[in-house]
Amino acid sequence: MGQVVRQVSNQTLETMKNTYQAELKQTPPHALFAAQINGTTITAYKSGKVLFQGKNAEQESARWDGDVVIKDKKPTVQKIHAYTPDERLFSQSIIGSDEAGTGDYFGPITVAAAYVSSDKIELLRELGVRDSKNLSDQSIEKIAQNILLCDIPYSSMVLDNPKYNKLQARGWTQGKMKTMMHDAVIDSLLGKISPTKPEGILIDQFSEPGVYINHLRKENKQLPESTYFITKAESHSIAVATASILARSRFVQEIDRLSKQVGFTLPKGASAKVDQAASSLIRKKGEAYLHNVAKVHFANTKKAATYLK
């Protein structure tokens, strides 16, 4: 299916709406209007971007003045391994999966998977969906709320600190924990959208695919068909960026909850500020309490002890 996004003027937007008056259909949230003609769906947004999608997308788009800002491309992603996706996957209806909290001493790991159909990609761009690492937590919360209003199917999971620390003590690496969490949310989401089948599943790569598959095999699990891995996937795929924002939003909510529990704001990350916060908690509640709110195998636990001398 072809896809073209054209940037047009407000005057052209008005002319388009009048021209497509007889073909107008239900307008998606945050869009100006939508129409369907000659096998092509046209969705216009306030920013002046117009998405043409369908077998005659290029021909229909060419009727209008304006710059083409996005157009289907030939695959240019360099093959790194057998599970590297074709670039065309990024504009298709897929499940994206990502995680948050893995580098933070305080708080859990959160993982989310989102199913984004191709006709929702431009809408999510309009809402500001992009790599969550380039967004403030305040922006992430707002965008996450808008994502939920758009009825994007998703599934999320939280691995709280007590369970994280137990698994780590049993010899589970963080990579294995993330693998099993990704597998769980993807499996849950596949059940939610059934009988619809995604054109692919894209996971933000945190380990070699063979390592990921081996973790699954040891737990009697298999990699779902049409699953792909790529590093920095959230910068390539709106589906992964959506999952990234949902995972980060859930992590921020959990940090806020734990902060209320301990009586002060727990800092994110793993800096010296985190060491000081951990030492304060040890003074107030004892070192054993860290198991409830922190990933205790991080070096921050030992560093916190230096502030107690």
- Six token digits for residue 78: 């360099």
Q: Cβ distance 241 to 132 under 8 Å?
A: yes
CATH 3.30.310.10 fits 2-71, yes or no: yes
With CA atoms as reference, report the closest residue to 156 among 198, 186, 194: 186
The most distant pair of C-alpha atoms in the chain lies apart, rounded to whole Å, by: 77
Q: Cβ distance 69 to 7 under 8 Å?
A: yes
Please tell me whether the overall predicted TM-score, pTM, comes out greater than 0.75 for this model.
yes
Q: How far is CA 47 from CA 16, 57, 85, 164, in A?
A: 14, 20, 30, 44
Angle at which helices 238-262 and 272-285 pack, to 10 degrees?
Answer: 40
pLDDT in tens, 269-303: 998 999 999 999 999 999 999 999 999 999 999 99
User: What are the b/e assignments for 123-158, b being 16+ CB within 10 Å?
Assistant: bbbbbebbbbeebeeeebbbbbebbeebebebbbbb
One digit per residue, the tens of pLDDT, for the chain of length 309 reads: 578 888 888 888 888 998 999 899 888 777 889 999 888 999 998 888 888 888 888 888 888 887 787 655 444 455 678 899 988 899 999 999 999 999 999 999 999 999 999 989 988 988 888 777 778 888 899 999 999 988 899 999 999 999 999 999 999 999 999 999 999 999 999 999 999 999 999 999 999 999 999 999 999 999 999 999 999 999 899 999 999 999 999 999 999 999 999 999 999 999 899 999 999 999 999 999 999 999 999 999 999 988 876
Structural domain spans, the chain: 2-71, 87-257
User: Residue 19: what residue type?
Assistant: T
Q: Distance between CA atoms of 18 and 189, rounded to whole angstroms? A: 39
SS3 155: strand
The CATH code that applies to domain 87-257 is 3.30.420.10
Straight-line distance from the first to the last Cα atom of the chain, in angstroms, rounded to the nearest whole number: 66
Q: Distance between CA atoms of 207 and 200, rounded to whole angstroms? A: 19
